[in-house]
Every structure is written in structure tokens, then in C-alpha cells.
Amino acid sequence: MRLQGKVALITGGASGIGLATVRKFVREGAKVMIADINLEQAEAAAAEIAGEGHEGSVAAVGVNVSVYAEVEAAVARTVEIFGSLDVIFNNAGIAGGRPLLEHDPAVDYEPIIRVDQDGVYYGILAAGRQFKQQGTGGVIISTSSIYGEQAAELSFTYSAAKAAVISFTRSAAYELAEYGVRAVAITPGRVGTPIINQFSEELKATFAAEQLRNKLTRPEEIADVVAFLASDEANAINGTVVSVDDGYSVFKQRLDLPVF
């Protein structure tokens, strides 16, 4: 088990990519704190996983990642329960979109920046301070997006926040390397999470067609990559962006080619 003995804090861990990653980490031997704004859902997930033969390997804490004191408290709670912190997965995020000129900043800018951008900054800061204090190093993994590297429809604010995650990751890797800390960002493409699954079958099919396998990526497939990045097997991966987009960035549109 590649994560045996490691302790991880996963934000947004009660659903989607976060929950899939919690399950993967526990199966790989880690102890995991599920941090989520929905404490009831996080506690239910923790109880279910513990009941599957992982008693003592999972716990839950409520956290609003847009508030630094709460992120700091989640880190402290993780250390209190499990004794240390080795990995933080800054995964909590929200989506939303509207044409730029129709924006209400209080709705279409501020909440997304606070969660998707500030929340990652707070996670990096709180975990980085804990890693330095422990003197044991650590790994910071943060969820960016394909939108963090390109323009897209209805994503002015979301893209900016996800681009900031990439910049945060590079700077954190540079500044925290002396403390034995690695920082990596991932850029998922179209993933079958509750955010996307709420849409019509027609729209989901359109999303799927934007990827090379012509289907939505499963959260578990993202979790597999995150588990590898958190492991010692990935020690040479630092300060970089790992694309987990099933080729979304490779092409723009499938064409019916003419006969040559």
C-alpha cells in the first residue's frame, strides 16, 4: 500500500473527486480527515468508510475553506486526531458561470474567488506551516482545471481562480522546497461529479465528446492519480501541473474528414 502510515486532509471530501480520493487513500493505507462545508455529509461518509473495515482510519471535520481560521483549525484537528499531517489535497471548489457583461460581482465573482482561489491559498499556507513545524516535509496537491490554462465559455471568474491555483502551486514548490515540501496541481477535464451529473443527458454527451475516450472521466480515475502524486513514488514531481483531462486540451473539435 503506497500510502501506508501517511495522514491526509482532503477538502471537499464528502462528494465527487474528494470522496473518491478519500476512499482511495484509505485503501492505500492512509489515515484521512474528510473536510467539507457539509459536516453531516462528511460524517456520514466517514462512518460508512469506517464500517467497511477501516475503523480508526477516517474522521470528519466541518470547514468553510474561504475562511482561513477554519482551514487552520481543520489542519490542527487532523494533527490532534492522527498525530501529524503528511498530505493536503486542496480540492474543495464551486462552479458557476454567466457572460461577463451580465456579472453581479457579489454573485459571479466574489464567492468563486473566495472558495476556488482563496481556499487553496489558505490550505497551502496552513499545511505549509504545519509541515515546517513538524520538520517532516509533506505534499500539497491542489485541484486546478483545464479552464485554468485556457479561455472557455461562461468561465471568466472560474478560469481566473483555477489559473491562480497553478501559480500558487509553482510558487509554493519554490518557497517550501527547503522544508521538504512538494506542491503539485492537477487539471481535470470533464469529470462525472455531482456538478456535471445534474445536467441533461444531451449536455453530458457534449461534454464527453470533448475528450478522447468520448466519455466523462470517473472521479475514481482522478483519485488514482492523486494517490500516486501523494506517494513517495512521485518524489520527482514538484512544482508542476499534471493534466488529467483525457486529452481535452489536445484538440478542439472532432471533424468529419473529406476523402482525399
The CA distance from 9 to 74, in Å, is 8
Active site annotation includes 121: no
Instruction: Report which residue type is found at 107.
Output: V
Distance (Å, whole) CA 162 – CA 147 = 7
Among 197, 67, 184, 173, smallest CA distance to 126 is for 67
In sequence order, what are the beta bridge partners of 8? 32, 87
121, 122, 147, 158: the active-site residue: 158
Alpha carbons 188 and 89: distance in angstroms, whole number: 14
Task: Calculate the dihedral angle through the C-alpha atoms of 189, 195, 198, 204, rounding to the nearest 10 degrees.
Answer: -10
Task: Tell me how far apart the alpha carbons of residues 168 and 121 are, in angstroms, rounded to a whole number.
Answer: 7
10 Å Cβ neighbour count for 255?
Answer: 7
In three-state secondary structure terms, 142 is strand
Q: Would you please indicate which residues are annotated as catalytic (active-site) residues? A: 158
